Each structure stands twice: as structure tokens, then as C-alpha cells.
Structure 1
Amino acid sequence: MKTTLLAAAVLVAFTGMAHAGTNTFQTVSSNSGPVLAGQNGRTLYTYDQDARDVSACYGPCAANWPPYIANSAAQPFAHYTFVVRTDGQRQWALNGKPLYFRAQDQKPGDTTGQDAAGHWQVARPA
């Protein structure tokens, strides 16, 4: 019995590791329809000035548009990968486009950054 319980616990632990990060994203409703959100429920955005797999948003830009940083256990999956920032942190990306929050968004479904400065777009679920 103890062996069976231990084996089940190990299996659950490894299964969780294999899927780490898959609950990192969610879809939330907004005035402009469904949007991709982080684990905290806040809307995610992409920046038109970013190159594929490269973030161009640092300094004051990153203060207003905080990058969505992956935790150390997160693993890429499906359309979701990482961009390595200049400080070595891994930032989530969707189809190679780095993902950001908008500092002014206060609650799930806020989309205050849509088309901001003509360069920011709400991320849509993959």
C-alpha cells in the first residue's frame, strides 16, 4: 500500500513537471472580445517594434509595459516559447512575439494598451 501511494505521488510530481507552465495563460473577456491573459488574469500585449524572439522594450518602456517573466519551472509548449532578455530572464512569447502587461491595466479584461502609440496590440488566445 505504501509503495503504491509513493509511486502515485512520484507519477503526479513528474506529470506536473511535464506540464509546468500550461496554466500560465488564460482567456478573459474584454470589451474587444476574448484576450490572452497571464496567470494573474491581466491582459497581455505584443509590441510591433519587437523582432521575432527579441524584446526591444527595456528601461522606461519596460516600466510601463512589464514583460511577462516565466518562473523557473515553466516549460515552453504549443505556441508559447521564451525570449531571453538582456538580464538573462526568460520572457514568455506567443509565436515568437514577446508578451507584456500594461502597467495601467488594473483588473482582468482591461485593455488600456490596445493600439497605444500605434505599436501595441492585445494578444489573442492561440
Structure 2
Amino acid sequence: MRARITLLVAPLVLVLAACGGGDPSGYGSAASAPPPVSADSSGVGAWSRAPSASAPANGAGDGSADGREDAGNTSAGTSGGASDRDSGIARSRRTAPRIAVQVVESDLGRILADSSGRTLYAFTKDKDGASNCDADCVAEWPALISPGEVTAGKGVDKSLLRQDRQGGGISQAVYGEWPLYYYVGDAGPGETNGQGLDDEWFAVAPDGKLVRTDG
């Protein structure tokens, strides 16, 4: 009888051993248990939100908001640069030194000169205040031009001084009916080397008439 009980108990022990033998978790040994998951308040495991090693950093190249923002900043910078350049040009025109026409004493008598004393001339081919001096002419007889206002200096009749507007935001000074020019042959203030050249170029008197020295 005792031998019979022993035979019945032995298979029962084998069955229990195969089922994990008293482990309440039902997973068998600890080595086979699933790894613990650290969950945040949303209930989503922290490990599941780890970035992929291949994901682009800071949204570069992936069309993310950061990428679009960078592109927008670049565009804004370019636009700002153009705006700055335009503002700089406007400021330079506003702050350009004013050119003045004045009356000075010379070997020709009282004549017009610029604020530094350089002699100003008139061209007899100019009519009604309009310049007829072409490109070759201007190379030798530069016009008195200014991006700003030309002011009336000492001895000048303000009613005779005006400006002939030209392209590029500049204008040529005109006195009476005569646009005003320099002569490249005058090295400095007080020189009148252009007087009477070709019988077409003459200094200008304070009353707006040409200073003719012939006869």
C-alpha cells in the first residue's frame, strides 16, 4: 500500500516542477520576466518616446516648424539688408554737403565760383537754361551738379539761382539762363584758364551776364 502511494506522489511532483513550482507570478524564473517599464503621468512608457538615432536634429531638412522658422529668418535678413541699403542711400542724399555758389574777386573782376572758390563758367550754346554739353564736352567741362540743394552764397542774387533736375536724383545749378560748369584746366581756386576758350566759354558775373574780355 505504501509503495502505491509513493508511485502516485512522484508524478505529481514532476507536474508541479514543470509548472514553475510555487512561483506566484506564473512566469517561472526571474530571468524570463519582462523588463520593467518606467511610465510617466500620461501612461506612455518613457522608452517609447526616445528619439531615433537617424532623426534629423533641430528640424533640419524635415519641414518641421524649426526648419521653416530658420528659412523665414534667412529671408527676413535678406529683405532687411536691401532695406538697409535703400535707407543708407536716402540718408547719404539727406546728409550730402550742400553746394553753394558765391561771388568772388578775380583777375576778371567779380565772378561766380563755388564754395571753395573755383571759377564757374557758362557755355554760349546753352539756351533757355538747358544744357547742350554732350558727353565729350562734359569730360572737359564738368557740370556743377548736386544730389541736394545748391544754396546762394555771398553776393549771389538768389532770384537768379535755380537747379535743372536731371536723372538719377541729381540736378545742375543754373544762374539766370546759364547752366554752370567747371573747367578741368583750372587746377585750383581763383584760376580762370577756361575764360574765352573757343569763344564759347565765359565766366559769369553776379548779374547773370557773361564776362567777356574781348575789345
TM-score range relative to shorter protein? 0.7 to 0.9
Shift of 1:43: 0.3
One-letter amino acid of the counterpart of residue 114, structure 1: Q
| Unpaired segments ≥5 residues, structure 2 | 1-97, 153-157, 208-215
More helix by proportion, 1 or 2? Answer: 2
CA RMSD of aligned residues (A): 2.3
| Unpaired segments ≥5 residues, structure 1 | 1-20
* Distance in 2 separating the partners of 1:73 and 1:47: 22
* Distance in 2 separating the partners of 1:54 and 1:46: 11
Residue 100 in structure 1 maps to residue 176 in structure 2: no
* Relative contact order, higher structure (CA 8 A, sep 6+): 1
Residue 66 in structure 1 maps to residue 147 in structure 2: no
- Percentage identity across paired residues of the two chains: 30
Larger deviation, residues 78-87 vs 47-56:
78-87
One-letter amino acid of the counterpart of residue 105, structure 1: D
* Distance in 2 separating the partners of 1:97 and 1:88: 20
SS of 1:28's equivalent in the other structure is strand
More strand by proportion, 1 or 2? Answer: 1
Matched positions, count = 106
Larger deviation, residues 23-32 vs 109-118:
23-32
Q: Of 109, 115, 121, which aligns to 1:33?
A: 109
Larger Rg: 2
* Distance in 2 separating the partners of 1:74 and 1:27: 14
Q: TM-score scaled by structure 1?
A: 0.73
Q: Deviations over 1:36-59 (max 9, x none)?
A: 101221000000000112101121
Q: Would you identify which runs of 4 or more consecutive aligned residues in structure 1 move more than 2 Å?
A: 73-77, 84-89
